[in-house]
Amino acid sequence: MPYLGSEDTVRELRRALSNPNIQSDQLRYRNTILKVIRAMSQGVDVSGLFSEMVKACATVDIVQKKLVYVFLCSYASLNPELSLLVINTLRKDCQDPNPMVRSLALRNMTNLRLPSLVEYVEQPLTAGLRDRAACVRRVAVLGFAKLHNLQTNSEIDAAVVNELYSLLRDPDPVVMVNCLRALEEILKEEGGVAINKPITHHLLNRLKECDVWGQCEVLRILQRYRPQSEDELFDILSLLDASLVSPHPPVMAATLSLFLSLCSGLPAVSLAALERVRGPLLAACGSMSREMRFTALCHIQLLLRSVPGLMGVHYKRFFCGYAEPAYIKQRKMQVLVELVNDENVAMLLDELRGYCTDVNTDTAQSAISAIGHIGRSYSDRCLEILTGLLGLKQEHITSAVVQTMRDLVWVCPQCSDTVCLALEGCEESLQDSQGRQALLWLLGVYGERVSCAPYTLEVFIDGVRSETSLGVKMELLTATMRLFLCRPAETQDMLGRLLHYCIEEETDMCVRDQALLYYRLLHCGIEETRKVLHGRRSDPSLGVLIGRPAEPISQWACSFNTLEPLRQGTIETESASRGSPEHVTFDPKPNTDLSDTLNYSHIEKVHSGSDSTTQRTDSSADILASNITVPLSLSLSPALSPEEFEHLWLQQQALHAEQDPEKMKEEEDYTYMEERIHCPAIPHCSPQNLQAAMQLVNIQTLAFTPPHTLPWRVYLYTHTQRTSSADMTHSTLILGELLYTGEANQKVRVKKGTGDREVVVEGREDVQIKEQEEATGDGLSGRELSGKDGEEEGVKVTLKQQPRDDKALKGFLSILTTVLHTLSSDRA
């Protein structure tokens, strides 16, 4: 047929459909109808042929019937009155001896979706539920769900619901699954299909008869059921065991989701189920389907949140292939970051270094970011790679490296010297705004260590008129002000030029207001300016330095086998739109707000004499310290790296082991003390809550074991500052270890530098605690401890202080005890 306009096309098709010669030739008539469907699929409005197509449905040719029914269902809503003419033909076809014709008529009768035709459809559907052919019953069951959608406000027919419930035991598995879907739709307002014990066991026993998507539907609905006994629970788990290792990933995921729902109170069984699905998940990661691979990687990230070592042995399975799309490569790199350990870190870093030069810029930048995350635990190796990448002088690589270095020094301040040495000359390769903002932040915070910092800033200031990025201008203002405070002679002139431009010529009000703020701040004096601009240079709390704490499975179980894991990754990555890392707030979201729990209304606050330009003292630490008889404040500055902590801890441990206890008393620059605090709920507290509570009082936790693991340990440190009566400030470093072994029977003898304390715990039934202490001028005050029958063992606190300051140690122990008791009582 030659090309015609839409009106001419419809006119030509109507003439052909009405031609008796064509109607008498079945093949020519079918081809004409096929032309109508083709025109409809091309967007031509052929609704004017509705009456001709109604006549065409009266045929014994099944192919022609299907074509006509497609047309009628598409245009029925535009011709509701003419659609009544189709009902008689459809009802007649419902009585056809061919089951295919009967099912086709029922399906299209409900697909007309006209409320005026419901009364004509109900009787054929009811008869279809009892049809001897399974294909007809399948269509009839779903037809009732379609009728319910047409009349959502009508009352639910109890007879239909009972009929559908009875069909759950239909011998055809597709009918059974369709009944579940129909009941879910019809009973949506009542919570869906009711699942009891007989229905549950019937569905489980017939699970293998269903197809893949039928099994997924059954497993999803079974999550509502709760076993009535432990024996029934394990019977259900036994029936599900085979599906847990199914070769079909959707079935495996649905089964694991049901497992986690049923075993919410059995963490050991849940962990065993996660171990079982390791093989199927790894197989899904190698699927030919890209979508399946991506989905499997997202769900593996969920599992690693609770079992970090689940895929550790198979880390090579997550190496990126050359032809893989960028989104899969990026997700694989996130998984590799989770799997890094002492044994594979060299190989993983070498692999990631190869991805840094990928032709896809997003993949390259993701690889550099992954190296930065690993650098929180292995800083020296990662900095060596990042420094080498700067030598490539490629714009996108240099930008990503500088941003990664900025984030790395924020969480690992011990890396600052290496980063400062690597910054020289990299400004020439930076073109994007994010990279320049990162460089400016580093020059502002560490400008005194970068010899070329003033000259680099001068280049930015000379080109500020052509700068289009608002973030770069604001970061340039802050960086220049900070550099002026530490290198005033080299920066004074350029700062004046920058402030003059931003105040007098800049059109953006945000930049102008910030420049005015800094200008007026300078009028208040250098010391006031220093207090405002010189804050902390790092925040070690943002990075867990030795592994990430395992999360309870219950935190993510509800999102497993949903779209949630695909929308957001499990690794906490900083937003690419930010400039300065100190603008990012870290909220650990603890369950306990320590500042609200503790009551300090009766305590007088004592201000510390520490220098505000180099340290920030948390107000809560001051308040807690004021409960002691001496003014005491705690501080996290200067930050202590894990390597430095380990060196000092082992060094003092060796010193304590070699020296005689009598000599330890006379040691003036070192104090060692052990104490037991009765707070048995602390080892069961989540690491996030414990870390947040400690940081609230300026105590930094460096490493901890997962909860419910014995022996349970936490390593921490803080700096104390105590002001004596002569206005002298004494600063000390305190290293600490919290240990809980879970043994109720043991005898502990405690020694400290200024006196002898003996704590004896004997017997499991009658626990008597005796304390003897020789009082000295600077000794710790005595405490009366009492034991109770059946009381659990307390947490052993080991403290190492240098230089020695008994009063500061006493104050720190009081603060630590208050924090632990508060957390313990809240959990209880």
Per residue in 305-348, pLDDT (tens digit) is 899 889 989 999 999 998 999 999 999 999 999 999 889 999 99
Report which residue type is found at 720: T
Helix (H) or strand (E) holding 721: strand 712-723
What single-letter DSSP state applies at residue 635?
E
CA-to-CA dists, residue 303 to 128, 445, 557, 563, angstroms = 46, 39, 9, 15
Query: Tens of pLDDT along 250-282?
Result: 999 999 999 999 998 898 999 999 999 999 999
Residue 476 contacts residue 460 (beta carbons within 8 Å): yes
* CB-based contact 446:418 (threshold 8 Å): no
Residue 771: which pLDDT band, with cuts at 50, 70 and 90? very low
**Which pairs from 603-611 meet CB under 8 Å and 24+ separation?**
603/627, 606/631, 606/632, 607/631, 608/632, 608/633, 608/721, 608/723, 609/721, 609/723, 609/727, 609/729, 610/635, 610/721, 610/729
- Residue 112 near residue 86 (C-beta atoms within 8 A): yes
Supply 107's token pair. 């399906």
Of 269-278, 301-310, 460-469, 761-770, the least confident: 761-770
* For residue 23, pLDDT beyond 70: yes
CA distance 250 to 301: 17
First to last CA, the chain: 83
- The pLDDT value recorded for residue 727 is 61
Q: What pLDDT shows up at residue 1?
A: 40
The owner of tokens 């592994």 is: 547
Q: Which of 226, 233, 314, 330 is nearest to 273 (CA)?
A: 233
Q: Which helix (H) or strand (E) holds 757?
A: strand 755-762
3-state SS, residue 733: strand
Give the C-alpha distances (Å, rounded to integers) separating 739 from 549, 684, 710, 788, 798.
17, 13, 9, 21, 8
Residue 206 buriedness (CB in 10 A; 0-12 / 13-18 / 19+): middle
Range with lowest mean pLDDT among 356-365, 388-397, 726-735 = 726-735
In this prediction, residues 128-155 reach a mean pLDDT of: 91
Peptide bond into 638 cis (omega under 30): yes
Closest CA to 127 of 170, 95, 168: 95
In this prediction the pTM is 0.69
Inform me whether the pLDDT recorded for 192 exceeds 80.
yes
- Cα(522)–Cα(145) distance, integer angstroms: 73
* Among 722, 565, 545, residue whose Cα is nearest residue 629: 722
Question: Residue 673's pLDDT band (boundaries 50, 70, 90)?
Answer: confident
- Contact (CB, 8 A) for 310 and 274: yes
Structure-block tokens of residue 25: 């030739």
In whole angstroms, give the CA distance from residue 739 to residue 713. Answer: 5
Instruction: Select, from the ranges 422-426, 490-494, 796-800, the one with the highest average predicted confidence (pLDDT).
Output: 490-494
Q: Which pair of tokens denotes residue 426?
A: 């990299």
* 421: nearest Cα among 449, 400, 391: 449
Residues 6 or more apart in contact with residue 732 via CB below 8 angstroms: 719, 720, 722, 801, 802, 803, 804, 805, 808, 809
Is it true that the peptide bond before 99 is cis, omega within 30 degrees of 0? no
| Residue 825: per-residue pLDDT | 67
Q: CA-to-CA distance for 103 and 139, rounded, in angstroms?
A: 6
Whether residue 540 contacts residue 407, with contact meaning beta carbons closer than 8 Å, is answered with: no
What are the counts of helices (DSSP H) followed by strands (DSSP E) for the chain? 37, 9
Please answer whether residues 292 and 300 qualify as being in contact, where contact means their C-beta atoms are separated by less than 8 angstroms.
Answer: no
Please name the amino acid found at residue 260.
L
Strand partners, 723: 729
Residue 470: pLDDT band (50, 70, 90) is very high
Determine the pLDDT at residue 541: 53
Q: Are 416 and 409 in contact (CB under 8 A)?
A: yes
Mean of pLDDT values over 636-644: 78
For 763: left if phi > 0, alpha if psi spans -120 to 50, otherwise beta; the answer is left
Residue 826 pLDDT grade (very low, low, confident, very high; cuts 50, 70, 90): low
Exposed/middle/buried for 635, CB within 10 Å: 0-12, 13-18, 19+?
buried
Strand partners, 801: 671, 734
Q: What percent of the chain has pLDDT over 70?
A: 80
Residue 670 has pLDDT above 80, yes or no: no
Q: Mean pLDDT throughout 94-116?
A: 91
Neighbour order of strands in the sheet with 748-752? 748-752, 755-762, 768-773
The string of pLDDT tens digits covering residues 35-50 is: 999 999 988 899 899 9
What is the C-alpha separation between 558 and 544, in angstroms, rounded? Answer: 26
Please tell me the distance from the alpha carbon of residue 687 to that of residue 704, in angstroms, as a whole number.
Answer: 7
Q: How far apart are CA 584 and CA 321, in angstroms?
A: 35
**Contact, 384 vs 411, CB < 8 A?**
no
CA dihedral 412, 414, 420, 423 (to 10 degrees): -40
Residue 634 has what pLDDT? 83
Contacts of 528 (CB under 8 A, 6+ apart): 521
**Residue 184 has what pLDDT?**
93
Q: Is 734 helix (H, G, I), strand (E, B) or coil?
A: strand
pLDDT at 232 over 90: yes
CA distance 69 to 108: 6
For position 752, what pLDDT does the model report? 37
Of 94 and 686, which is predicted with more confidence? Answer: 94
C-beta of residue 712 within 8 angstroms of C-beta of residue 690: no
Is the model more confident about 706 or about 171? Answer: 171
Cis peptide before 540 (omega within 30 of 0): no
Measured between alpha carbons, how far is 631 from 608 in angstroms, rounded to an integer?
7
Helix (H) or strand (E) holding 498: helix 488-504
Give the C-alpha separation, 385 to 749, whole Å: 49
Cis peptide before 711 (omega within 30 of 0): yes
Flag the least confident range among 142-151, 465-474, 491-500, 582-591: 582-591
pLDDT given at position 213 = 93
- Per-residue pLDDT averaged across 158-162, rounded? 92
Cα–Cα distance list, 707 to 551, 552, 556, 629, 668 (Å): 9, 9, 17, 35, 37
CB 364 within 8 A of CB 398: no
Q: What integer pLDDT is reported at residue 580 of this predicted model? A: 63
Residue with tokens 């009839």: 140
Mean pLDDT across the stretch 177-202? Answer: 93
Tokens 């005033």 map to which residue? Answer: 488
Q: Is the pLDDT of residue 573 over 50?
A: no
| Residue-level length of the chain | 828
Q: Are the C-beta atoms of residues 174 and 214 closer than 8 Å to each other?
A: yes
471 band by pLDDT with thresholds 50, 70 and 90: very high
Helix (H, G, I), strand (E, B) or coil at 442: helix
Q: Mean pLDDT over all residues of the chain?
A: 81
pLDDT of residue 461 exceeding 90, the answer is yes
pLDDT score for 134: 95
Query: Tokens 């245009």, residue?
Result: 75
User: Alpha helix (H) ranges present in 18-95?
Assistant: 20-24, 26-41, 50-56, 62-75, 80-93
Q: What is the average pLDDT across 627-655? A: 72
pLDDT at position 814: 86
3-state SS, residue 737: strand
DSSP state of 785: -
pLDDT higher than 50, residue 610: no
Rounded to whole angstroms, what are the CA distances from 465 to 462, 503, 508, 635? 8, 13, 12, 42
